[in-house]
Amino acid sequence: MTDTTFKDGISVLIPVYNYDCSAYVRGLSEQLRVLSVEEGGVEHEILVLDDASTDVVTLQANRSLHRVPGVRVFEGEKNIGRALALNFLLDQARHRFVLITDADAALISPRFLATYWQRRAEASVLV
């Protein structure tokens, strides 16, 4: 896929294994929604790969994310590890800018998201 096929926006990638990330993803989704309103329509998506979690509670919580707008959840059949999970999610990303975060990270500050988005005009890659 070439750069021109990506939409202008943010794809947030979250690989997860045996961790209930539902509260984190819901909070992040709300922050992205607010950013979109404040910045005039920032397109965004949150991609979660449950990397073959074995904990039933985790599986159920992460599956509930299918109902959150802008969130796509993928379920791995076998554990492939963080690096391959991120590669998989990168292949699924629809937007030009990618933000990688962990499921157990502290919620990203809304100011960070706004700064991240505003800096896109200055760079071809944001890390």
Report the C-alpha gap between 111 and 108 in whole angstroms: 8
Mean pLDDT of the chain: 85
pLDDT at 83: 96
**Considering the entire predicted model, what is its pTM?**
0.85
Residue 57's CB is within 10 A of a number of other CB atoms, namely 10
d(CA 70, CA 65): 10
Average pLDDT over residues 39-54: 88
pLDDT tens profile 47-75: 999 999 998 888 888 888 888 888 999 99
Render pLDDT for 23-37 as a digit per residue (tens, 0 to 9). 888 888 888 888 788
Q: Which domains does the chain have, with CATH numbers?
A: 13-118 (3.90.550.10)
